[in-house]
Amino acid sequence: MGVASAGPRIAAVDLVGQAEHGYNSPVWLGTDDRAVAEKVMELVPGLIADLPPVNSENATKAWRDYAEVILCSDREEMAAISDSYAPEHLTVQAEDLDWWQERLSCYGSLFLGEETTVAFGDKASGTNHVLPTSGAANYTGGLSVHKFLKIVTWQKATREGCKPIAEATARISRLEGMEGHARTADIRLKKYFPDEEFDLTANG
């Protein structure tokens, strides 16, 4: 949920703000600063205890059972770990925010800079809040108009362009045991290039 090299108190408050969602809410911090990591771990229990009872109960369980604080060697390792987690929300509190925005690719919504908290996106800043969870940000983004668009594709081969595609199709199809597929390519090669010979076996 967070990559931090900034001050630990804001990072800790942000983690608690997400942990209160529920007993199974995963929260994690990646940092290359041991002092930040240790201070966050020191601060979080007190911040949780200060919440209203239900929120505190949820956050206590989430922090106990699902939280991680990961000490990394550098920002590249932090970014790689973040992309592997593909979080629903990702906060970056670090220098060179342009680098982070360019480098990171797997998240539901990205919150750049100490001034930008996830709760802004939840409640007021206007970005989409129907976001991929459980690592789904590896392959999809949040709900948008694009989810309701019908995407279609089409192909049109020329005679000459058909030749290399048909050769590849025939070989791949036979390699996969799809002889019927292969023959749809064979017949075109035979018709369009009757004077040429082709090795269309699986090992051709």
CATH of the domain at 19: 3.40.50.1980
Q: Are both 116 and 24 inside the same structural domain?
A: yes
pLDDT of residue 126: 79
Q: Calculate mean pLDDT across residues 109-116.
A: 93
What predicted TM-score, i.e. pTM, was given to this entire model?
A: 0.75
Residue 28 phi, psi (nearest 5): -150, 155
Q: How far apart are CA 114 and CA 174, in angstroms?
A: 57
Q: Residue 6 pLDDT more than 60?
A: no
- Which of 76, 89, 114, 160 is flagged as catalytic? 89
- Which of 88, 114, 167, 179 is flagged as catalytic? 88
Across the beta sheet with 28-31, the strand order is 68-71, 28-31, 2-4, 89-93, 109-112
Percent of the chain with pLDDT over 70: 97
Q: Mark whether 89 is an active-site residue.
A: yes
Q: Calculate mean pLDDT across residues 93-97.
A: 92
Q: Calculate mean pLDDT across residues 104-129.
A: 90
DSSP 203: T
Q: Calculate mean pLDDT across residues 110-132.
A: 89
Q: Are both 49 and 126 inside the same structural domain?
A: yes
Q: Are both 133 and 57 inside the same structural domain?
A: yes
- Structural domain including 158 reads 153-204
- Count of domains in the chain? 2
Q: Calculate mean pLDDT across residues 154-171.
A: 94
Q: Are both 113 and 137 inside the same structural domain?
A: yes
